[in-house]
């Protein structure tokens, strides 16, 4: 299980690194807009991401 968890973490880092590598200006602007959002909006985005991940795990896992 540990190897699978490390593989998943490595893939997450690769996927998250694609946008800053390919389009750093777009990534910077998106990050600045995110920083200006209210806490509730950021929490909603985080909750939506977690739910989408859980659904994907349930469907494909």
- The tens digit of pLDDT for each residue in 3-24 reads 899 999 999 999 999 999 999 9
Q: Note the pLDDT of residue 48.
A: 97
All structural domains of the chain with their residue ranges: 25-61
User: What is the four-CA torsion angle of 56, 17, 42, 28, rounded to 10 degrees?
Assistant: -150
Q: Note the pLDDT of residue 1.
A: 79
Q: How far apart are the first and last CA of the chain?
A: 14
Q: How far apart are CA 31 and CA 16, in angstroms?
A: 13
Confidence band, pLDDT 50/70/90 cuts, at residue 2:
confident
What does the mean pLDDT of the chain come to? Answer: 93
HSE-CB of 46 using CA atoms within 13 angstroms: 8
């Amino acid at each position: 299980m540990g190897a699978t968890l490390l593989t998943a973490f490595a893939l997450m880092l690769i996927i998250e690194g694609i946008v800053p590598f390919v389009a750093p200006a777009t990534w910077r602007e998106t990050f600045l807009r995110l920083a200006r959002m209210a806490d509730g909006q950021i929490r909603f985005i985080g909750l939506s991401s977690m739910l989408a991940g859980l659904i994907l795990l349930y469907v494909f896992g």
